[in-house]
Chains A and B, each alone.
Chain A
Amino acid sequence: MNPPQTPSRRPRPIWVLAAASVLLAAGSWLGLAPSQAEAPSPATPPLVLVPAAAAASHAAASGEAMAHTCAACHGTNGQLGDEAFVPLAGLPHTQFVRTMQQFRSGERPSTLMGHVAQGFSDADLLAMGRFFEAIPPLPPPETPR
């Protein structure tokens, strides 16, 4: 029985593993190189909700009623397909509230979201956030058909 002359099943994985090992070693070397002192990674800041000012002279609307005003850009029920705006359905309510707070304060730049966010109190935002969180998001536009 002649030994195989040309590459066969066995040598191939070795090739791959050899190449991989070299690359892995190189990668590890990079990682082992001396680094700068690192700052601690920022933990997710806790949600801070401020009660609405006593001067608010309108009754509280439901989270759902307020959420429907967002649909024209963010999709009916916050379910948006392939569009420049972001879908809100399924968004963790903590992220919704924090994002809107940051828009409202101007910490996060925006075109018009800062103005819109000014129309809502923290209690409003929490109600809206909970509404959106409970809605299943559409499959993302990237989902292969």
Chain B
Amino acid sequence: MKRIAPTLRDLALATAAVLLAALPPLLNAAPETHASGAGRPTAMSPPELRQLLASIPAGNPVRGQQLHTQQFCAACHGTAGVAPTPNWPHLAGQRVAYTVKMLVDYQRGHRAEHERARLMANAVHGLTLQDMADLAAWYARLPAPVERETPRPAVPPAAQAEALRLVRHGDAARLITPCASCHGARGQGGVNETPALAGQNPQYFVRTMQLYHGQQRANDTRRGMRSFAARLSAAEVAALATYYADLPASPGTHRR
């Protein structure tokens, strides 16, 4: 406010903020190549993502349930899409676009963070886009999880208030947009393929953010999650994990 003229730093920060916050098509104009399977995984390019989202066919949830059993999804993700242990994420109530994108990411090698993630490459072997849409349609209909059993990470009370602030307002100083702006006011997901987070296993949440932080997971098309995770502290991540785990399922979770 007392500044007389903008510094170069101001200009740089402002440009970065503009790009990050509201203009996705300007980012990553050069499409990233598909991961070869060896070396660092990369993300779908924005045009590829748009094309994928536009081409998801209507899913048959009855068929999706059959596939869930036949393809052994239930073995890790639970018979009703609620994972029996903290080793795997819950899929129940997840948005179709996100589920499909994840399956495609695994199939194309965009996700291969560690051994259990690489198992997914086996799991999606031979799945067609219709299969994926059917599976996703079934998960989307399932009641979202109510997370009670998984131990929460230890979170001091001050950090809990922080979590709420990050969800609703983000942190401009660190160029972190509000989580709710993409993940929904009630953690139900919303923008493009952004996933629902309400009721998600908090240990999985923390692991995911660590993976984005370390860039072992790099399938976020606009690098948003990698950027945010790089700037959040471990305490904040723990607080957000607990916040979302405790969030009750919202009415929007059954919809596409």
Contacts and interface: CB of A to CB of B under 8 A. Distances in A.
Interface of A: 1-2, 4, 6-13, 15-17, 19-20, 22-24, 26-28, 30-31, 33, 35-36, 38-44, 82-84, 86-87, 91-92, 94-96, 98-99, 102, 107-110, 140-144
Contacts of B213: 144
Contact of A19 (B11, B22, B114, B255): B22
A89 to B, nearest CB: 12
Given A23-B181, A83-B115, A142 B17 contact: no
Interface majority SS (helix, strand, loop, mixed), chain B = loop
A43 B6 CA distance: 56
Interface in B110-128: 113-116, 118-119
Given A31-B184, A95-B85, A99-B85, A41 B249 contact: yes
30 contacts: A7-B10, A7-B14, A8-B3, A10-B1, A16-B172, A16-B175, A16-B177, A19-B21, A23-B177, A24-B181, A26-B190, A28-B185, A30-B252, A31-B190, A33-B255, A36-B254, A41-B143, A41-B145, A42-B80, A86-B116, A91-B85, A95-B86, A95-B149, A99-B85, A108-B74, A108-B75, A141-B114, A142-B114, A142-B207, A142-B216
Nearest to B203: A140
Interface of B: 1, 3-6, 10-11, 13-14, 17-18, 21-22, 69, 72, 74-75, 78-80, 82, 84-87, 113-116, 118-119, 143-146, 148-151, 169-170, 172, 175, 177-178, 180-182, 184-186, 188, 190-191, 199, 207-208, 210-211, 213-214, 216, 248-255
- Which residue, of A19, A22, A43, has the highest number of chain B Cβ atoms within 10 A? A19
Given A27-B181, A31-B185, A31-B188, A4 B149 contact: no
A28 B250 CA distance: 11
Contacts of A87: 87
Contacts of B13: 12
Contacts, number: 172
A91 B119 CA distance: 21
A7 B143 contact: no
Nearest to B116: A84
Nearest to B185: A28
Given A82-B115, A86-B87, A12 B252 contact: no
B4 A1 contact: yes
A92 B84 CA distance: 10
B172 A84 contact: no
A114 to B, nearest CB: 10
Contacts of B150: 92
A142 B184 contact: no
Contacts of A38: 143, 249, 251, 253-254
A16 B79 CA distance: 42
Given A23-B191, A24-B185, A142 B84 contact: no
- Which residue, of A24, A26, A102, has the highest number of chain B Cβ atoms within 10 A? A24
Contacts of A95: 84-86, 149
Nearest to B84: A99
Given A7-B6, A20-B21, A35-B255, A82 B182 contact: no
B48 to A, nearest CB: 22
